[in-house]
Every structure is written in C-alpha cells, then in structure tokens.
Amino acid sequence: MTEQLASIAPLAPSAAAAAPRRRRLWARVLRRPAGALALLWIALVVGGAVLADVVAPYGPLDQDLSSSFAGPGGAHLLGADQLGRDVLSRILHGGQVSLLAVAQAVTVFVVVGTLTGLVAGYRGGRTDRVLMWLCDVALAIPLVVTLLVVLAVFSRNETAAMLTFGFLASAGLGRVVRAAAMTVRSDDYVLAAEVAGLRAHQVVARHVLPRVLPPVLVQASLLACSALLVESGINYLGLGVQPPTPSWGGLVTDASAAIASHPWLLVPSGGVIVLTALAFGVLGDVVRDVSADRSDTAPTSWRQLRTRVRRTTPADAKAHATADVAGKETDAADAKIDAVLELRGLRVLHEGTALVDDVDLRVAPGEVVGLVGESGCGKTLTLSALLRLLPPGLVLEAERLEIDGADALDLTERRMAALRGSAVAFVPQEPVAGLDPSFTVRAQLREVVRLRDGGNRAATDVRVRELLEQVQLPDADRVLASYPHELSGGMAQRVAIARALAGRPRVLLADEPTTALDVTVQAEILALLRDLRERTGLAIVIVTHDWGVVAELCDRAVVMYAGRVVEEGTVLDLFDHPAHPYTRALMAANPTGAAFRERLRSIPGQVPSPRERSSACAFADRCERRESDCTSTPVALVLTAGPTTGSTGAVGDRRVRCLHPVTGASPTKPATGPSTDQKGEYADAAR
Amino acid sequence: MPLVEIDDLSVTYGARRAGRRSTGKAALADVSLDLHRGETLGLVGESGSGKTTLGRAVLGLVPVSAGAIRFDGEDITRADRRTRRRLSQRIQVVFQNPYLSLNPQRTVLQSVMETLASSPEVDRAEARARSLEMLERVGIPPASADRYPGAFSGGQRQRIAIARALVPRPDVVVCDEAVSALDLSIQAQVLNLLVDLQDELGLTYLFITHDLAVVRHLCHRVAVLRRGELVETGDTAAVCAAPAHPYTRTLLASAPVADPRLARA
C-alpha cells in the first residue's frame, strides 16, 4: 500500500516540480559533488594530454641520468625514472596514446551500439530479430583472444585492437538501447509524430533518441573505464605502443621492473590509471542517478516512510490565519454522536505549506461519504491521512483522529499498523496494481486472513471462501488459483475488496475504486459496495470526481477545493440546493444535464497550487459571485440551515465555506438521460 | 458520399507473424461504418471492444487484415508511407493523456509545428505563424509558446494537443478518449472548444469514448462496439431513447446518473 501512496507523491509539490525540471543533464551532474569531481579529473587528464607539448616541463624522451630514480619534488614534480626521464611529462604524453585509444573504442561503441539499438527497437519485426541475433553472436565471441589475434595480425596496431574492442562491446549497448527505444516507441507523442507524417529518421532523431541518451551516456562511461584498463593491459604486456614512446601501461611496466628498489615510481603511473578509470565509472553512476527522475524524491531511510504526526489544539488552529475558526462549533453534544471515524482539524504540510487545511470528517456506522473535487484538491491526501500513510516528507497535523474509538494520533506505528486492516481498510484505484503480481489470489488472501485471525490452514481456507462469497465472486476455485494479471479489472477489484474485508473493518476507504473500470463493471462494484454496507453496516469513505458515483452510492458528500472542505451535506440536499459556487460550477460542468451541444459552463482558470492559495477564499479568483470581502477575509466552514434540512441529526448537517452562498435550486436541469422507468427497463432487458 | 467509408474492416493482432501462429487475436471483425463530413460519430464500447483499434486503423497505425477504408473516395487501407505523409495533413488525432502525448523535451511551439513539417508547400515562417495562430485560437497565449509542456496544466496540454492536430486544417480528427482524463470543469472547457472548432472549421470527428454522457452531449451519431463487433449504430438521440441491442441497453443502464433521485429509484 505504501507503494500506492508513494505514487501520489509527485502530486504534492506540483508547482515546484513543473518549473525546474528542465535543467540540463550536465548541469545536474555537476551539482553532485561526485559528478563534479569526476568531470574535473577527466577534464584535467584530457586537457593535460592534449596540451602535453605545451604544459609538460620536459620532453617525454629527455634523459638526465644524473637524476635517475629521483624522488618527487624539486626539478621533477613526480620524480624521474631509471633513465632520469620526468615522470609527469611521460604521463602527460602517455595520456595522448591511452586516451586516444579510449576515445576510439568509445566512439565505435556508441555509434554502432546506438544505431543498432534504435533500428532494432524502432523497426521491430524481422529487422529486430536479425539484429538481436547478430548481437548475441558478438557477445559470444571471447574478447581477450580476439584482441590478441587482432594485435598479432595487425602487428601491434593498437587502434585496430581498440576499434575491435568497441565494436564487440557495442552489442551490449545495442540491447540496452533497443529496450529503451521499444518502450518509447508506443508512447502517444511518438504516435502523434507518425500521424504528423514525419519520416522515420525524423521521428527517431527528435523523439526517440533523446529518451535513450541517458542510458547511452551511462554505458559509454562504463565502457571508457574498461577500455582504459584493457589499453593499459595491452601496453603493460608490450603488445601495443613500443618503447621508448610513453603510454600509461608502459609506464607501469617500467615501474614494476624497479618495484623492489624504488616503489614510488609505481604510484604516479598506477595512480593516474586507477583514478581515471574510477572517474569514468563514477561519472556513469552519477549520470544514471541523475537521469532517473525519482532520485530526488526517493526516501533515504525507512524512518522517513513513517508519517510524522503532530497533535494540535483548537488554539493552534486559531494561530494560523488560513483556518480562522470563528463560528466553528465544537459542541460537546456534537462529539457524543456515535461516529466510527472522527477527524478534526486535519492539516497536511509539505515544507510548511499546507496541502490540506482544516478538514473535519465524521462518519457514522453504515454511512457512505463521498469526497468530491477536482484533482489536486486534497481528496486522496485526506484519505491517506486517515490511514496515517502520507507520502514521504509530508507532516500530518490534527486535533483529533479517532478510528473505531481508538485515538490514532497517539498510537505507536506498530499499533497503527494493526488498526489498518482491522478497523479501517483501503481499496486502491488500480485493482491489478494493488495486488502483488508474483502470488496467487489464494496466497494473498490467506496471508491477510492468517495475519488477522491466526488459526490453522483449514479455518483460514474457510474464511477465504467466505470472503470471496461476500464480494460475490463466482467460480472461486479458478479465481483463487489465478495470478492478478489473469483477472479482469472487475474481478481484481472484487479481490481487492475481499482482502480489505479480511480484518472485518468498520470503515472502508476507497480511492476512486471504479474509475479504471468499464461502466458495466463499475455498476457491479457500486452495487457490491451498497450491498456490503447494508448487510454488514460497513461505513465507506469514497474519493471520486464523478457526480454519478456520488448520486448512486453516497449518503453524504464532502466537496473539497484547494485543500479545504467548501461544502458538505446529505446527497439529496446537496444536489437539490448546492450552496457553494464551486459546487454549483462543478455540477454545471457535467455534460449529463446539458442539452445537445449546448455550451457547458466551465470554470475559468485552474486550481491554485498550494503555495498560491489565499488565506481568504481560495476559489474567489474563479468565482462569478466574488465580492470585495471574499479576497480579504478568511472564511470558516459554517453550519447552515439548508432549505430542506430534513436530515438525520448533526451528522447530516449542511456546512458551507462561503461568505455569499447561493440559495435556490440546483443549476442542472433534470437529466436528459434515461428516465427512471427507462432505466428500469434497460436493466430488465439486460438480464 | 461519406468522407470516410469503412467496409467489413478486420484487424487481427499477431496475424502478421506468419508461420508461428496463423490465427491471432481478432481486435475488429467485419466492421462497416460511414463517417459524413461535418458530423461527430461517437464510437462507444468497453475495454477490448476494438474502438481504439478502429481509430488507429483509420490513422494507419495498425495493419488491416481484411476489408477496406476509403477516405474521400481514395482507398487508404494499406497506404504506403508517402500517401500517409500526404494524408497526415487531412487526418489527425488527439490522444487521451495530455501528459503522454507531448514530448516533454520539446517546446509546445515545436510540437505544434511538427504537424506541418511534412507539408512541402508550407515554409518555416508560415508554419510558425499558423501554429501561433492556432495556439491562440485554443487559448494558449503565443507568448508562452516557447515553454515546455511541464509548465502547463493538464487542460492546457490537451488544448495544445488539439492545436497540434488542427494546425494543418485537417478534415477528420480522431479523438481517442480525448476528454476522459480531464477533470469535469476542464472537460467542459475542452468539449466547448471542440464544438466551437467543429462549427468554425467544418471538422469531422471520430470520437472514441466510454462515457455515454459525453456522447449524448457531443455526437450526432453513435456506433456501439463489443468485442470487436459493431452491435448497433444510429442517431444518438434515437439509440439512447430506444436501444435495439441488449448490450446497448446494458451500457445505458450501467452508466451512473448524476441525480440521486433517479439513481435511487
């Protein structure tokens, strides 16, 4: 479930995520200390090699026998070898040989590997099969033997060896690029480019190549690292450049001859090889980290996965201007009403910014409450807060959170975990994604039943069957033996509900449980939820953006906007007399009630990001009923005597957060959809 | 003469891998439909009904195994790349997810101009001018045309995707669940925009959706697909008032109605 909730994390700092995302890859690499150091070292070595003729204090072959085996310092910064040749100068000049060899290998590797991968991944079909078969062959050729043969045939031609090395290794890159290209291939914007009539090479250059570039850079860095080591090996064995021309591998050979008497000599030559190889490797790692978008937001420890909880008092609530509580009633009588879930004064904070602010929620046993609103209004965060499972980095503040009589603000993480599933359970939006793909339904249901009931295997299996019956899954044997991907969306959602019911919860929290389903399946799931409520007295809190779902399922609706509750009331009352301009606008935007091709009433602008929210009415900017006080005064959620508050006591009361609420009937005309009679007829006919 | 004629169209996935499996999975079987100039044809069905496949066959994105598609009298069933490039100026597409349908690494102007790239008679300066004009028409200020998709909200991105589809002034636009991922208020904006643009430019929409409320609101005619087969087609009002096929009745009865009194009756 934490996986599920983590997936909503990017939702929180949406404004922050939108702007600086576009920073160039290299700029992001440089921001990391390891990346900056690696790049600095590589720049130093390459620069030194290129400018060796200028910067080197001596010529590479200049001998000065008087300073044979001179130590570091003085005239020779890194010492001198047996013939008195300056080690620093030889390293700089040797770099020309070694780094050129690396460049040759990397160039062939990148060009051949990327082209192969792009063609195979983009074209697919037979081209793909032939190219991948060739890659397999290339990967099966023993590398070292081939290099030795090449060096023998081309008589110590190092370039030939490095080109061969790069070519053979490129088969691996080809496979990586192909996999990346195949996933991009079916993306909508690539399809759109094809529909736009772009030629294949244009589509690849504009849309596919940029996406496969990060893995290419990673692989190229890692290959540079191994190419350097191979090149050094070749020269160490004396199969490459001939003395006295310096190369890094050759310098190590020279040094190893005198290792007993002058061990220092090995340090500069060996060191430069090790450090350069290391720099290439580190660079590859950093590029990979930086190009994986999640690295910035991923939690660094398990502790951070726990939601931080802070209890506040009504006085605290008064302190922050956004939640003025003048007129907010905190009756003792109100609190006495039997509620299976009670939340008061919820705030969800991200780095001090309130994403959810001043949310109260009371749910009676057997009651179905809908949380309604557009994306980014805090519905899902409110639901996550009820489970104390906020995305990492967010803080939960509340005056009170009671679930089935337990004070959930005080519980230890372990006790809270026990409460989840037994008192309060959760059903996610994507039923298949919410189940573990590597276990059968039987295994997953057994696991939760054993966790809740203990008991032996026979008792567990009886309970598992009972759960499947409860969610009206026919053909139980087949379902139990299936893996989640073998189930249809509707069956998977039934299994997810069965799993949620295993601990006999009193409240079920459901996050858009039917949004991903087909309409006919949606109708079945809604019927199931209604049925469960009636038979078991289960209370349900359901997040939805669909007024149809609210109308069909809920007793009460809570409308959220920009992290706050703007209106709540019984569903009949709310549909008949929506009082908040936002509720009315949202209802009017629904095409269901509108005439054919009639202009729909849309809401200008968009939901303000958490940072831009006014402490006064957050909807004022988009509201057609705005008056001057709307933008200056904080607005409380107040009890109103709705025009037809013939409702069932305090739980059903009507509350509105608006200085100028609308009175009068709903803006929507009677639905032009099927009439009641017709709907019944359809249903009959469908049977 | 209908603008698009679809005759006995069948699409079978996997059939092309000759030798391995001769019978693939039939995504569409013998579907015949006409699309008339200036109308909106709603294509309704559940997942696996083949509605998306039908749209993609018209766009030339999936291989057709049998039957024919004619566009403006010309057989385009197996059009080659050159023909497709020409057709790209006349048949366009808007996809469902505004977050996936724009390349995040290209500015919105670059994305919109791209649809004109394969049109030889339009030079760069003109393509730029027309793209900016179209962006303005859909409500994206030209001043922000050089920004990347990340700077725009979902509704704005869908407008950009619509601008990209319309900038070559196509005859037919395939809207593949084009408003399904949007919030209600944003969906209302985009639906209004689609209606306005159709009236203004005489567009023809093939509107693929699972949402019957949207079909009732927008589509002149509707075609109901189920498991790759066409089960019913006709005027939207007539089909909704008197569905002939039991499956159409089931669909209509299943759609939740945003009216608690009706819903509970």
Determine the 3-state secondary structure of B159 from DSSP: helix
Residue A668 predicted with pLDDT over 80 = no
CA distance A10 to A21: 12
Full set of structural domains in chain B with CATH? 37-56+80-264 (3.40.50.300)
Identity of residue A629: D
Least reliable range by pLDDT among A205-219, A332-346, A353-367, B60-74: A332-346
Residue B183 predicted with pLDDT over 50 = yes
Q: Are residues A128 and A221 in the same domain?
A: yes
Q: Are residues A249 and A379 in the same domain?
A: no
What is the model's pLDDT at position A612? 85
- Mean pLDDT for B120-125 is 86
Q: Summarize pLDDT for A380-408 with one digit per residue, the tens.
A: 999 999 999 998 889 999 999 999 999 99
- Mean pLDDT for A275-292 is 89
**A304 occurs within a structural domain:** no
Chain A CB contacts of B121 under 8 Å are none
Residue B176 predicted with pLDDT over 80 = yes
Residue A600 predicted with pLDDT over 50 = yes
Chain B CB contacts of A192 under 8 Å are 93, 95, 101, 161, 164
Q: Are residues A271 and A338 in the same domain?
A: no
- pLDDT averaged over chain B? 90
- Mean pLDDT for A291-301 is 55
Residue A531 predicted with pLDDT over 90 = yes
pLDDT higher for B151 or B222? Answer: B222
Residue A13 predicted with pLDDT over 60 = no
**A686 occurs within a structural domain:** no
- Mean pLDDT for A100-126 is 95
CA A564 to centroid of chain Cα atoms: 25
Mutate to test the interface with B, among A206, A547, A602 (most CBs of B within 10 A): A602
What is the model's pLDDT at position A594? 83
Q: Do A522 and B85 touch (CB under 8 A)?
A: no
Alpha helices in A237-340 (DSSP H): 248-257, 266-291, 314-319, 332-336
**A676 occurs within a structural domain:** no
Show which of A267, A293, A319 is a domain's final residue.
A293
Q: Which residue of B has its CA nearest to A200?
A: B81
Q: Are residues A223 and A106 in the same domain?
A: yes
Going by pLDDT thresholds of 50, 70 and 90, the confidence category of residue B9 is: very high
Question: Which residue range is the domain that position A31 belongs to?
Answer: 9-14+23-293
A425 neighbors A501 (Cβ within 8 angstroms): yes
What is the model's pLDDT at position A301? 63
**A266 occurs within a structural domain:** yes
What is the model's pLDDT at position A671? 43
Q: Do B256 and A552 touch (CB under 8 A)?
A: yes
Place of tokens 């004619």: B70
In angstroms, the separation between the Cα of residue A499 and the nearest Cα of chain B is 25
**A149 occurs within a structural domain:** yes
In degrees to the nearest 10, what's the CA dihedral of A57, A58, A64, A66? 0
What is the model's pLDDT at position B259? 85
Q: What percent of chain A has pLDDT over 90?
A: 52
Q: Are residues A106 and A255 in the same domain?
A: yes
In degrees to the nearest 10, what's the CA dihedral of A403, A554, A376, A657? -90
Q: Are residues A532 and A611 in the same domain?
A: yes
Q: Are residues A226 and A326 in the same domain?
A: no
Whether the model pTM is above 0.80: yes
pLDDT higher for A298 or A48? Answer: A48
Q: Do B185 and A603 touch (CB under 8 A)?
A: yes
- A window 644-683, beta carbon within 8 A of B: 668, 670-676, 679-683
Residue B18 predicted with pLDDT over 60 = no
Partner residue opposite B100 with nearest CB, options A188, A489, A602: A188
- Mean pLDDT for B135-150 is 90
Q: Are residues A315 and A402 in the same domain?
A: yes
**A677 occurs within a structural domain:** no
CA distance A577 to A571: 10
**A612 occurs within a structural domain:** yes
**A670 occurs within a structural domain:** no
Domain containing A549 — which CATH number?
A: 3.40.50.300
- Mean pLDDT for A445-467 is 91
- The H-or-E segment that residue A553 falls in is helix A547-553
Residue A507 predicted with pLDDT over 50 = yes
Q: Which residue of B has its CA nearest to A550?
A: B258
In angstroms, the separation between the Cα of residue B233 and the nearest Cα of chain A is 17
Going by pLDDT thresholds of 50, 70 and 90, the confidence category of residue A303 is: low
Q: Do B118 and A597 touch (CB under 8 A)?
A: no
- Mean pLDDT for A115-131 is 93
Residue A166 predicted with pLDDT over 50 = yes
Per the rule left: phi > 0, alpha: psi between -120 and 50, beta: everything else, B202 is: left
Q: Summarize pLDDT for A175-196 with one digit per residue, the tens.
A: 999 999 998 888 899 999 988 8
pLDDT higher for B109 or A288? Answer: B109
Number of domains present in the structure of chain A: 2
Residue A11 predicted with pLDDT over 50 = no
Q: Are residues A547 and A514 in the same domain?
A: yes
- Mean pLDDT for A512-537 is 92
What is the model's pLDDT at position A15? 35
What is the model's pLDDT at position A497? 94
- pLDDT averaged over chain A? 85
A497 neighbors A427 (Cβ within 8 angstroms): yes
What is the model's pLDDT at position B119? 80
- Mean pLDDT for A308-333 is 59
Q: Do B216 and A552 touch (CB under 8 A)?
A: no
Going by pLDDT thresholds of 50, 70 and 90, the confidence category of residue A678 is: low
Q: Are residues A288 and A394 in the same domain?
A: no
Domain containing A48 — which CATH number?
A: 1.10.3720.10
Paired with A570 in beta bridges are: A556
Strands, E assignment, B2-122: 4-13, 25-35, 40-44, 66-71, 74-75, 91-94
Show which of A240, A268, A293 is a domain's final residue.
A293
Three-state secondary structure string covering A465-491: HHHHHHCCCCCHHHHHHCCHHHCCHHH
Q: Do A188 and B95 touch (CB under 8 A)?
A: yes
Q: Does any CB of chain B come closer than 8 Å to the CB of residue A526?
A: yes
> Please, how many CA atoms are within 13 Å of residue A212, restricted to the half-sphere of its CB?
31
Top-confidence range, A359-368, A676-685, B9-18, B178-187: A359-368
Residue A510 predicted with pLDDT over 60 = yes
What is the model's pLDDT at position B25? 74
Q: Are residues A261 and A326 in the same domain?
A: no
Partner residue opposite B254 with nearest CB, options A523, A586, A680: A523
Residue B2 predicted with pLDDT over 60 = yes
Mutate to test the interface with A, among B185, B216, B221 (most CBs of A within 10 A): B185
Going by pLDDT thresholds of 50, 70 and 90, the confidence category of residue A3 is: very low
Chain B CB contacts of A572 under 8 Å are 260-261
Q: Are residues A395 and A323 in the same domain?
A: yes
